[in-house]
Structure 1
Amino acid sequence: MTTPKPHLFVFGPGYSASPVMARALENGWNVSASYRDDAKADALNAKGITAVPLDEAALQGALATCTHLLTSVAPGPHGDPVLPIIAQQAERLHALRWVGYLSSTNVYGNHDGGWVDENTPATPSLERGKRRVEAELSWGDFCERSDSTLHIFRLAGIYGPGRNAVRTVLDGRAKRIFKEGQLFSRIHVSDIEEAVWRAMNSGLTSRIFNLADDAPAPPQDIIEKAALALGKPVPAIIPLDEANLSPMARSFYEESKRVKNDRVKKDLSLSLRYPSFDSALNDLIAHETGAQP
């Protein structure tokens, strides 16, 4: 008797989840993902991913053989939008054994630049952080009822090809906004891919992983490094109080913390491909300019 292929279903097949889907396809998995518009469906199907509309009949067929479920959908004012869908299909999820939830380090709230790890209590100050905590708990309840493993990935600031300080400088959108003591942790999308792939194949019990690199840094320093490496003028410093930011952008400066990543290194034997922004800089420039690294 042959063992059925693993089947990964993804809710929210966007920037962070797409490399995981590609990795699963390369390894012979069946991969399906939700979509809301036809253009997205066409793009998914072109990659060999089965595009599934968000209606009950279509989901029923796709989720019946789902062994691994990954969601990157952020909760809204009314909670996590994926959970009610999953609840409707719960009786059909007979093959499900692993759930991955892409969360955020904003669940830790503000620590004035201090270090946090997975044992640090979740004390979010921002509304979206509070929603993340509620979603994590709700996914925990679901996985306990369904006897499936839950791995929560708390992501620091995500960057990578097409979404990085080099691209911002090249596009003329870079600002060096300064707030005393402000620090951000970051994580490259390829390290997210590697960590999630290892976790979903690990056999580890349910747990939380921080995904952040080794070098938290002030945001203005990252822009400066990108500009200097490109030979572009370094933007002038703008004090936060004088910066013309949207309420969403300004809210990121309300929290400052350094995020420890010891657990993902220990439990998943993960060596970060990009342990700092500096280590990724040449590859980012090569991608964004088409130059050889």
Structure 2
Amino acid sequence: MNLFVFGLGYTARHFAERERARFATVRATVTEEARAEAIAAETGFAMRAFGPDTDDDRIAGDLADTDLLLVSAPPGREGDTVLARHREAIAESRIGWIGYLSTIGVYGDQNGGWIDESVAALPKSGRSKGRLEAEEGWLALGAETGKAVQVFRLSGIYGPGRSPITKLREGKSQRIVKEGQVFNRIHVADIATTLAASIARPRAGAIYNVTDDEPTPPQTVIEHAAALTGLPLPPVVDFETAELSPMARSFYGENKRVRNRLIRDELGVQLAFPTYREGLAGLLDDAKG
């Protein structure tokens, strides 16, 4: 089987590298030519440049020789760039499985309530609205072509080099407190497990929440990371006065508890890191944190 990845970022790269043995070839995109060359040297993947101002002319041929397509590239201001440029090539290809990586942000604010995939998506931010529109575009492509398109709505992603431990070690952590706020998280390894399970059991039109078992206040996770590492706790910062990017502030504007039962019941996924406690313990001895 040949894999093509639009947007070889943190999550998609982890999946492609972990599952490399199952693929005859891996082709993937990043936005800059220089970065594509660097990643090709590191991984052996056939890398292409694809972004707002780039579109490698080999991509159409690559898609014709692809069996599995993973889409991790975010939509742009004018919608999903992959669909806008390569919809026809994908529709005419032999690709049988398509995975689209989305976000639980499409559910919007649920006032801290428990939700699953049956809850209607009501995104608040422009970023999440764009993700929902992209989801709909990919699902429509699947319905029209008979290809098995699956949407994976991801919680806050962490793993090696991208965790509360990393931030503590780098002195970049904040303990932001907002009354009643909780977040779900998901370890990058458990995302890879879910994608592999879906490839083994494709279901056209499926939408899955890919998330851990325990939505938790963010400061609690940081406190646990500090206790594990022996590093000092960062001071408490009130949400109202915290220095946050507009994206981060909008993230705190949504509060929900997300269930993951469907990936367990339908795909047979058993999370290696069902809560932040197992996840952080697994990262403690990792040089990247």
Q: Are 2:201 and 1:202 aligned? A: yes
Partner of 1:43: 38
Q: Provide closer, same or farther for how the CA distance between residues 190 and 91 of structure 1 changes in structure 2, counting only shifts above 3 A.
A: closer
Shift of 1:98: 1.0
- Selected match of 1:13 from 8, 16, 21: 8
Superposed CA deviations along residues 27-62 of structure 1, whole A, max 9, x for unmatched, are 243211123323322234332211234436311211
Spell out the pairing of 1:70-85 with structure 2 (5 A cutoff): 70-85=70-85
SS at structure 2 position matched to 1:100: strand
Query: Counterparts of 2:6 and 2:270 in 1: how far apart (Å)?
Result: 27
Tell me, yes or no, if the aligned pair for 2:157 and 2:186 is still in contact at 8 Å: yes
Q: Shift of residue 241 of structure 1?
A: 1.0
Between 36-45 and 228-237, the greater mean CA deviation after superposition: 36-45
- Residues 1-293 of structure 1 correspond to what in structure 2 (within 5 A)? 6-46=1-41, 47-54=43-50, 55=55, 57-90=57-90, 92-93=92-93, 95-288=94-287
On the 8 A contact 1:63/1:92 being kept in 2, the answer is no
TM-score in terms of structure 2 length: 0.93
- Whether the 8 Å contact between 1:24 and 1:30 is mirrored in structure 2 is no
Aligned-pair identity in percent equals 39
Q: SS state of the match for residue 27, structure 2?
A: strand
- Deviation (angstroms), 1:15: 0.4
> Is 2:147–2:204's contact at 8 Å kept on the other side of the alignment?
no
CA deviation vs aligned residue, 1:176-196 (integer Å, no higher than 9, x gap):
111110000000000000100
Does the residue aligned with 1:17 lie in a helix, a strand or coil?
A: helix
List gaps (5 residues or longer) in structure 1.
Answer: 1-5
Moved more, 11-20 or 244-253: 244-253
**Which one-letter code corresponds to 1:41 in the other structure?**
A
Work out the CA distance in 2 between the residues paired with 1:119 and 1:91. 28
SS at match of 2:102: strand
Aligned equivalents of 1:228, 1:245: Cα separation in 2? 25
Say whether the 8 Å CA contact 2:26–2:46 is kept in structure 1: yes
- Match of 1:32, SS? strand
Alignment gaps of 5+ in structure 2: none
Q: Is the 8 A contact 1:60 1:92 kept in 2?
A: no
Cα distance in 1, alignment partners of residues 286 and 45 from structure 2: 25
Aligned residue type for 1:66: T
Answer whether contact 1:112 1:181 (CA < 8 A) is retained.
no
Deviations 1:183-226 (A, max 9, x none): 00000000000100110121333300100000110001111111
With over 3 angstroms needed to count, the CA separation of the structure-2 counterparts of 1:78 and 1:45, relative to structure 1, is same
Q: 1:180 to 1:45 in 2, by over 3 A?
A: same
Q: Is the 8 A contact 1:8 1:67 kept in 2?
A: yes
**4+ aligned runs moved over 6 Å, structure 1:** none
**CA RMSD between the two structures:** 1.6
Contact 1:12 1:33 in 2 (8 A): yes
